[in-house]
Amino acid sequence: MEPPPDDLRERLAARGQGHLLRHWGGLDPTGRERLVLELEALDLDQVERLAALLRERAGDGAGGADFAPPDLFDLARAQSTDAERARRVGAELLAAGRVGFMLVAGGQGSRLGYEGPKGCFPIGPLTDTPLFAWHAARIIAAGRRHGFRPTWYVMTSPANDAATREFFAEHHHFGLAQGDVFFFAQAMLPALTTDGRIVLEGPDRMFLAPNGHGGSLAALATSGALADMAARGIEHLSYFQVDNPLARPADPLFIGLHAAGDAGMSSKVVTKRDAQEKVGVIGRADGKLGCIEYSDLPAELRDARDADGQLLFRAGNIAAHMLARGFVEDLNRGGRLNLPWHLARKKLKSVDAEGRPIEVEGVKFETFVFDALGATDSSVTLEVQRRHEFSPVKNASGLDSPATCKADLAHHFAELAEAAGHAVPPLGTDGVPRIEIDPRHAETPEELRARAARPVVVADGHHYTQNPVTTR
Q: What is the pLDDT of residue 462?
A: 33
- How many angstroms separate the CA atoms of 211 and 187, rounded? 6
Predicted TM-score of the model (pTM): 0.92
Q: What is the pLDDT of residue 457?
A: 34
Q: What is the pLDDT of residue 2?
A: 85
| Rounded (5°) CA angle 103-124-397 | 90
End-to-end CA distance of the chain: 67
CB 343 within 8 A of CB 53: yes
Per-residue pLDDT of the chain (472 residues; tens, 9 = 90+): 688 899 999 999 999 999 999 999 999 999 999 999 999 999 999 999 999 999 886 445 445 689 999 999 999 999 999 999 999 999 999 999 999 999 999 999 999 999 999 999 999 999 999 999 999 999 999 999 999 999 999 999 999 999 999 999 999 999 999 999 999 999 999 999 999 999 999 999 999 999 999 999 999 999 999 999 999 999 999 999 999 999 999 999 999 999 999 999 999 999 999 999 999 999 999 999 999 999 999 999 999 999 999 999 999 999 999 999 999 999 999 989 999 999 999 999 999 999 999 999 999 999 999 999 999 999 999 999 999 999 999 999 999 999 999 999 999 999 999 999 988 888 888 999 999 999 999 999 999 988 755 444 333 333 333 346 666 5
C-alpha distances (whole Å) from 452 to each of 53, 233, 439 are: 58, 35, 12
Q: What is the pLDDT of residue 450?
A: 87
The CATH number of 67-394, from 3.50.50.60, 3.30.1280.10, 3.30.70.640, 3.90.550.10, is 3.90.550.10
Q: What is the pLDDT of residue 381?
A: 98
